[in-house]
Amino acid sequence: MIGAVAAGVLAVSTTLVGATAPVSAANTLSMRGADVSSLQRSLDLGARYYDAGGVARDPLDILKSVGVNYVRLRVWNNPVSGYNNKSRVLAQAATARAKGLKVLIDFHYSDTWADPGKQYKPAAWAGHSLSQLRTDVYGFTYDVCSSLSRQGTPPDSVQIGNEINVGMLWNEGRVVNNDFAPLAGLLKQGYNATKACGSGIPVMIHTANADSNANARWFYDGIRAQGVQWDMTALSYYCVWHGTLSNLYNNIVDLRGRYGKPMVIVETAYPFTRSNADSEPNAIGDAACDGISATWSGQAQEFDWVQNTARNAGAIGVFYWEPTWYAVRGNGWDPANINGTGNQWDNMAVFDWSGRVNPGVRWTS
């Protein structure tokens, strides 16, 4: 099953148990993305990037040459590091658009990482009530989006919240006892602000629920019942945490049919080695999936299988998370101690520890 789906053969009917309606497979992945949020810091520290032939080139040019047409940029409110804030994102967006790449803006609504296990409010919003937070979300979203538009690089898509499996801006925006109303009010403000900035900008709602169709239905049913609007359904998929490719396939098919919205995998990655380049433990170390080794060829194969699975299930996009974040000293994991922490992703980038790209990795339509 897994091998057949991964190899690009549609081995399973698109009318699956649990799906609400038959869904025809998409022919292409129109969003072939790379989250390069850490890239500017690496470049500022002197990182060099080399193509498969060993020639030093701009990393965005290298990525574009192997199929990337979209970049994803996270925006934090006021990170201590001074990176991934509004001004940095404006500069990165301008660079990307100048190279003909589209831009997805990923709002975390935090000064640091937001994911299923933590959704910390920005320090400036720490004492705010739910009502104030709704105003905050609208204002910050509109400010970043309109600033991008004023410089001539309006976002091509916007993501309201990052991996918000049980809400965002905790505790006010956390889903407790199946009460989605507080979160829904925040999401509506993010959606409305984006549409006020540009009515045609698609809005994604992103969870890391690729592993559980029941959890995904619970979440998206919950926000839909509260009147939340969104344009694309976005998932993270890391096989070590989110299960088999066949499970991913079934979940994409079901969610696409259930909500009638395009599906995008906005985060995925796979290790090219089990070794560690620095003192910071790797986020994903010894684990492997689908019988694939943590090698150059293994990384390329797993990414190819994820793309094929998503495509066959009808998704329209796949983004690799932080392919350029290789082992560059000073570009640490913790934005509050960016110089003093290591990189937990050094074995997951598609550039090795000397900056040379994996010659087998391709983004394919």
Q: Supply the residues annotated as catalytic.
A: 163, 267
| Residues 208-246: b if buried by 16+ CB within 10 A, e if exposed | bbbbbbebbbbbbebbbebebebbbbbbbbbbeebbbbb
